[in-house]
Amino acid sequence: MADDLNDREYPFGPPDEDVVAFGDGAVPGRPAGVPSSYDRGKSPRWTPEAIADAHAVAQLGRYQIRGFSTFNTRFPTLDDLVFVPATMTRLPLEGYRESCDTKTVLGDRPGLVEQPIELDIPIYIASMSFGALSASAKAALGYGATKVGTMTCTGEGGMLEDEREASKILVYQMTPSRYMLDLEHLRMADGIEIVVGQGAKPGTGGVLLGMKIPERVASMRTLPVGVDQRSTVRHPDFLGADDLKVKIEELREATGYQVPIFVKMGATRPRWDVAIAAKAGADVIVLDGAEGGTGASPELLLDHTGIPTMSAIPAAREALEEAGLADEVKLVAAGGIRSGADAAKCLALGADCVMIGFAALMALGCNSPRYLDDYEALGTSPGRCHHCHTGRCPVGITTQDPELEQRMDVAAGAERVARLLTAWTMEISLLAKACGKSSVHNLEKEDLRALSLEASAFTGVPLAGIDRPYTW
Ligand SMILES: Cc1cc2nc3c(=O)[nH]c(=O)nc-3n(C[C@H](O)[C@H](O)[C@H](O)COP(=O)(O)O)c2cc1C
Ligand code: SF4
């Protein structure tokens, strides 16, 4: 009996009750060793972050806006998938001796485009607006991409001369706001991208806070200097699939049937959204998962809207197959891609190409440990910075402040972007060759295994060891 056990005595006499209760060295009035006395409570719901957020909005009376990407830890990462290279059932290629094709063609829908886009690698740089980015950052991205035979995109707010000059291949973005939409620029582009949404903020328009709207940005967008911009979300000239078809045809005529038409969307209902865009005539569909980066977005949209990139790609691929357009319409995946391995997994899940935003900014120096006082002034530190919305980027990438922008060395930034793209392409090829593929475009779901039930259910990738997808 437990009571009897408690009645037994030690050979050295009873202990001091205060010491048993961890009273030695404890803070008076605060019992040590009792959970409620610890600094950090255990509520899985009212976490310190949830409490801080309630305090913040209670002071501000509005939702919070920030840059970077989602902080929602429930989004899976591509680390939940691994490759299963060739062993006995398949034959690997020599990783260090045999070649693997990385050429990627976008917009080769038969009979519709005179000049499809030909990239040397299956990765390109995402549309990031001048305004969100400094002109130096835009130029560096363009030169870096050009060096390795790939492309960049303009982003909301028009085309810069510097970026047209820097980027051998440049896609021109048409956002619903139509800021600085210019027919001449349209005809100078190598592709046109109609934006119907973004992964970081699906269902709403762009945000550029007043701190990032000096004279040059304001004049390009016909906006007042220093006033917050909130873009429209619906295109004024199309509402649904029928009008989109007409719009695409109009753009083909305006560009003489020379260049491909892209449709970019956030991942929400890809099975249906992708089918609609493909049937309306898009040559390329860009699917941006909920983990996608942004210069500024309402935080609740970053954390509580959209579906993961990993789950969107297979659904989009199936939609193209069901529509009978899988060989005609190209699928570009984006959103949270952090390495060559991530990019290779996206290709294996069904993407024809991947597009990167923040990874390219990392190559430019985002979050690099320099100018520490300026990170501190923002209340952050290198490795944790997500303050693009403030316009005070310590390393000169997401700023319009001339002094900060000077820190963005165009030549060095371009070189690092080129090296990152080269390294990632090598990583993708190495994985492809290990899986026995002579082209990165031959990677397939069967080359992958899922490490979690969720990853398997989201993607249809066989579960490790079970070798069949988790279904119900
Ligand atoms: C600084 C910044 C500015 C952006 N500006 C635009 C834009 O103007 N138009 C757009 O469609 N997407 C914009 N995006 C989203 C990117 O095009 C892309 O979808 C996203 O960055 C992909 O996710 P990743 O950053 O995780 O690679 C921006 C992203 C960043 C980081
Ligand atoms: S370092 Fe600059 S680009 Fe990177 S997250 Fe911070 S503000 Fe944004």
CA–centroid distance, residue 445 to ligand 1 (Å): 27
Closest CA to 334 of 133, 454, 167, 193: 193
Check residue 118 and give its pLDDT: 98
Check residue 211 and give its pLDDT: 87
Q: Of the bound ligands, which one is closest to the alpha carbon of residue 126?
A: 1
| HSE (side-chain half, CA atoms, 13 Å) at 289 | 28
Q: List, chain by chain if needed, residues with CB within 6 Å of any ligand 2 atom.
A: 67-68, 361, 366-367, 385-388, 393-395, 397-398
What single-letter amino acid sits at 104?
T
Element (H, E) at 262: strand 261-266
Pocket of ligand 1 contains residue 334 by CB under 6 Å: yes
CA–centroid distance, residue 198 to ligand 1 (Å): 8
Check residue 26 and give its pLDDT: 81
Give, for ligand 2, the residue of 128, 294, 361 to mutate: max count of ligand atoms closer than 8 Å to Cβ. 361
Ligand 1 atom closest to 193 (CA): 11
Residue 362 has pLDDT above 70, yes or no: yes
Cβ neighbors of 38 (< 8 A, separation 6 or more) are none
pLDDT in tens, 286-317: 999 999 999 999 999 999 999 999 999 999 99
In the structure encoding, which two tokens stand for residue 378, read together? 């923002």
Residue 162 — φ and ψ, nearest 5°? -60, -40
Give the pLDDT band (50/70/90) at residue 24. confident
Residue 40 has pLDDT above 90, yes or no: no
Element (H, E) at 332: strand 330-334
* Percent of the chain surpassing pLDDT 90: 76
Contact, 330 vs 352, CB < 8 A?
A: yes
pLDDT in tens, 52-72: 899 999 988 889 999 999 999
Terminal Cα-to-Cα distance of the chain (whole angstroms) = 49
CA–centroid distance, residue 211 to ligand 2 (Å): 15
SS3 453: helix
CA–centroid distance, residue 406 to ligand 2 (Å): 15
Residue 95 has pLDDT above 90, yes or no: no
Looking at every residue in the chain, the average pLDDT score rounds to 93
Check residue 2 and give its pLDDT: 58
Ligand 2 atom 5: residue of nearest CA: 386
- Strands 191-195 and 261-266, by their bridges, are parallel
Q: Of the bound ligands, which one is closest to the alpha carbon of residue 293?
A: 1
Q: Of the bound ligands, which one is closest to the alpha carbon of residue 357?
A: 1
Pocket of ligand 1 contains residue 208 by CB under 6 Å: no
In the structure encoding, which two tokens stand for residue 67, read together? 């840059």
Residue 41 has pLDDT above 80, yes or no: no
The residue with greater pLDDT, 359 or 19, is: 359
pLDDT in tens, 160-214: 999 999 999 999 999 888 888 888 999 999 999 999 999 999 999 888 888 889 9
Closest CA to 333 of 354, 359, 356: 354
Check residue 116 and give its pLDDT: 97
CA–centroid distance, residue 206 to ligand 2 (Å): 18
Distance, CA of 464 to CA of 83 (rounded, Å): 10
Q: What average pLDDT score do residues 319-327 get?
A: 97
Ligand 2 atom closest to 382 (CA): 1
CA-CA-CA-CA dihedral for 12, 14, 17, 22, to nearest 10 = 30
Pocket of ligand 1 contains residue 176 by CB under 6 Å: no
Q: What average pLDDT score do residues 108-128 get?
A: 95
Check residue 64 and give its pLDDT: 92
Alpha helices, H only, 255-349: 270-279, 299-304, 309-322, 340-349
Check residue 245 and give its pLDDT: 96
Ligand 2 atom closest to 380 (CA): 6
In the structure encoding, which two tokens stand for residue 52, read together? 């801080």
Give the pLDDT band (50/70/90) at residue 44. confident
Pocket of ligand 1 contains residue 195 by CB under 6 Å: yes
Least confident of 20-24, 127-131, 340-344: 20-24
Give the pLDDT band (50/70/90) at residue 34. low
Least confident of 12-16, 39-43, 351-355, 391-395: 39-43
Give the pLDDT band (50/70/90) at residue 1. low
Check residue 325 and give its pLDDT: 97
CA–centroid distance, residue 200 to ligand 1 (Å): 8
Pocket of ligand 1 contains residue 281 by CB under 6 Å: no
Check residue 219 and give its pLDDT: 86
Check residue 157 and give its pLDDT: 86
Distance, CA of 363 to CA of 125 (rounded, Å): 12
Pocket of ligand 1 contains residue 306 by CB under 6 Å: no
Q: Of the bound ligands, which one is closest to the alpha carbon of residue 333?
A: 1
Give the pLDDT band (50/70/90) at residue 37. low
Ligand 2 atom 2: residue of nearest CA: 393
Check residue 38 and give its pLDDT: 60
pTM: 0.93
pLDDT in tens, 381-434: 999 999 999 999 999 999 999 999 999 999 999 999 999 999 999 999 999 999
Element (H, E) at 210: none
Give, for ligand 1, the residue of 123, 127, 136 to mutate: max count of ligand atoms closer than 8 Å to Cβ. 127
Pocket of ligand 1 contains residue 171 by CB under 6 Å: no
CA–centroid distance, residue 103 to ligand 1 (Å): 24
Pocket of ligand 1 contains residue 75 by CB under 6 Å: no
Q: What structural domains does the chain harbor?
A: 2-62 (no CATH), 78-459 (3.20.20.70)
Ligand 1 atom closest to 157 (CA): 8
Pocket of ligand 1 contains residue 70 by CB under 6 Å: no
Q: Of the bound ligands, which one is closest to the alpha carbon of residue 405?
A: 2
Pocket of ligand 1 contains residue 193 by CB under 6 Å: no
Check residue 222 and give its pLDDT: 84
Q: What average pLDDT score do residues 81-85 get?
A: 98
